[in-house]
């Protein structure tokens, strides 16, 4: 069986929910305490055994390329000033033995279209996708949990989360044939159904393992909701030919593409931050909310 060695980060979206911050800067570079969202995602991929990071970038996303490039002036300055721990911090942004690739999506035509931009790099292999604005805190990296399911089932695997029924119109929602604990054999998937129309409250969130057959399915998709090429529609096509599983992962997800989700993540990560947590807790205690 082919190993999962490549991950795609679609980071070419416009991030309209986070304007004006995202007018000229990528939302994936927003920091949670001191680290940008995209670096959390890259670290999750590395700790799941991924060897190639493929970024699908758009016009305002060059900061992401710079973040994963070396920075000789900064490094020299840190060497001169003997700031060893900061130097280590900067040098380990790209984990060892990992290669980065950048592909430009010429216009934001949807998540399905963005993933398809990686086709020539992925070729004929199963691969992972991480949406960096879904930050997931877990004991075992969420992507590793999905990869383990892939090795058992040899099928496409979608990360699932039980959401409030009132929220179904923000997610792809699945219906299933059967379940074993947290693992579901998926029967159907619908993009953003209204709470009345949704058959379940099981939402697909920002982690996926795909078989390479997804590319030919994306090619058949016509623009759907928001005139975008939706990955949901391609998954629906894939299910007609092969099994698709969903897995409710262990962990807590923060929707950092929304302002409230971003604030929640900032608070929770600050509360656990080695240098900051004590002072931050003291500060919060003094706030009379
Ligand atoms: P979102 O639905 O979060 O869209 O995309 P968005 O444009 O980033 O943000 P809002 O909704 O306008 O605030 C889900 C993921 O797919 C990527 C986004 O970067 C995000 O990681 N994406 C979306 C692309 O890479 N290209 C696209 O054309 C659309």
- The residue segments making up the domain with residue 69 are 6-287
In a domain, residue 258? The reply is yes
CA distance linking residue 118 with residue 130, whole number of Å:
13
**Residue 2 predicted with pLDDT over 80:** yes
With a Cβ cut-off of 6 Å, ligand 1 is lined by 10-18, 56, 105, 108-111, 113-114, 131, 133, 257
Q: How confident is the model at residue 237 (pLDDT cuts 50, 70, 90)?
A: very high
Tell me, yes or no, whether 1 lies in a domain.
no
Kindly give the distance from the C-alpha atom of residue 38 to the centroid of ligand 1, in angstroms, as a whole number. 13
| Mean pLDDT in residue range 102-126 | 95
Residue 40, pLDDT score: 97
pLDDT value of residue 95: 80
Q: Whose CA is nearest to atom 10 of ligand 1?
A: 15
Read off the pLDDT of residues 160-211 as tens digits, 9 standing for 90 and up.
999 999 999 999 999 999 999 999 999 999 999 999 999 999 999 999 999 9
**How many CA atoms does the CB half-sphere of 96 hold within 13 Å?**
1
d(CA 240, CA 94): 38
The whole-number pLDDT of residue 266 equals: 98
**How does residue 59 score in pLDDT terms, banded at 50, 70 and 90?**
confident
Q: State the first-to-last Cα distance of the chain, in angstroms, to the nearest integer.
A: 55
What's the gap in Å between 175 CA and the centre of ligand 1? 24
Three-state SS for 83? coil
> Are the C-beta atoms of 9 and 29 separated by less than 8 Å?
no
Q: Is residue 112 part of a domain?
A: yes
What was the pLDDT predicted at 28?
96
Q: Which atom of ligand 1 is nearest to the CA of 12?
A: 25
How many Å separate Cα 189 from the centre of its chain?
A: 19
State the pTM of this model: 0.95
How far is residue 197 from each of residues 165, 191, 210, measured CA to CA in Å?
10, 11, 27
* Distance from Cα 246 to the centre of ligand 1, integer Å: 21
Residue 227: per-residue pLDDT: 87
Q: What is the pLDDT of residues 22-45, one digit of tens each?
A: 999 999 999 999 999 999 999 999
185: in domain: yes
In the chain, what is the greatest distance between 2 CA atoms, to the nearest angstrom?
Answer: 63
Query: Is 65 inside a domain boundary?
Result: yes
**Residue from 8, 10, 13 to probe ligand 1 pocket by mutation (most atoms less than 8 Å from CB):** 13
What spacing in Å lies between the alpha carbon of 247 and ligand 1's midpoint? Answer: 22
Residues 6+ apart with CB under 8 A from 1: 151, 154
Q: Give mean pLDDT, residues 2-22.
A: 94
User: Residue 285 Cα, ligand 1 centroid: separation in angstroms?
Assistant: 36
Whole-number pLDDT of residue 100: 96
**Predicted confidence (pLDDT) at residue 67 exceeds the cutoff of 80:** yes
Query: At 125, which CATH number?
Result: 3.90.550.10
**Ligand 1 centroid, distance to 27 Cα (angstroms):** 10
Percent of the chain past pLDDT 70, that is, above it, reads 100
Number of domains forming the structure of the chain: 1
The number of C-alpha atoms within 13 Å of 115 and in the hemisphere containing its C-beta is 34
Indicate the burial class of 154 (C-beta count within 10 angstroms; 0-12, 13-18, 19 or more). middle
Which of ligand 1's atoms lies nearest the C-alpha of 17?
Answer: 13
Average pLDDT, the chain: 95
């Amino acid at each position: 069986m082919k190993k999962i060695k490549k991950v795609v980060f679609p980071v070419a979206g416009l991030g309209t929910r986070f304007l004006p911050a995202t007018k000229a800067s990528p939302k994936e570079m927003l920091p949670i305490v001191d680290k940008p969202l995209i670096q959390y995602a890259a670290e999750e991929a590395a700790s799941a055994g991924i060897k190639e990071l493929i970024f699908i970038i758009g016009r305002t996303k060059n900061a992401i390329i710079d973040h994963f490039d070396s920075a000789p002036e900064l490094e020299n300055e840190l060497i001169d000033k003997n700031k060893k721990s900061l130097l280590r911090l900067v040098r380990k942004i790209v984990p060892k033995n990992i290669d980065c690739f950048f592909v430009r999506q010429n216009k934001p035509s949807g998540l399905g279209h963005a993933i398809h931009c990686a086709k020539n790099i992925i070729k004929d292999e199963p691969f992972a996708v991480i949406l960096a604005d879904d930050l997931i805190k877990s004991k075992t990296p969420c992507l590793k949990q999905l990869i383990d399911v892939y090795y058992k089932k040899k099928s496409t695997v979608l990360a699932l989360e039980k959401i409030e029924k009132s929220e179904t119109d923000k997610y792809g929602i699945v219906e299933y044939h059967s379940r074993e604990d947290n693992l579901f054999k998926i029967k159907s998937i619908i993009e953003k159904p209204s709470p009345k129309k949704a058959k379940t409250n099981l939402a697909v969130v920002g982690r996926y393992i795909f078989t390479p057959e997804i590319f030919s399915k994306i090619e058949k998709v016509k623009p759907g909701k928001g005139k975008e090429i939706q990955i949901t529609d391609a998954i629906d096509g894939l299910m007609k030919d092969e099994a698709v599983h969903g897995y409710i992962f262990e962990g807590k997800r923060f929707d950092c593409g929304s302002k409230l989700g971003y604030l929640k993540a900032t608070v929770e990560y600050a509360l656990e931050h080695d240098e900051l947590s004590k002072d931050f807790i003291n500060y919060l205690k003094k706030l009379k909310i």
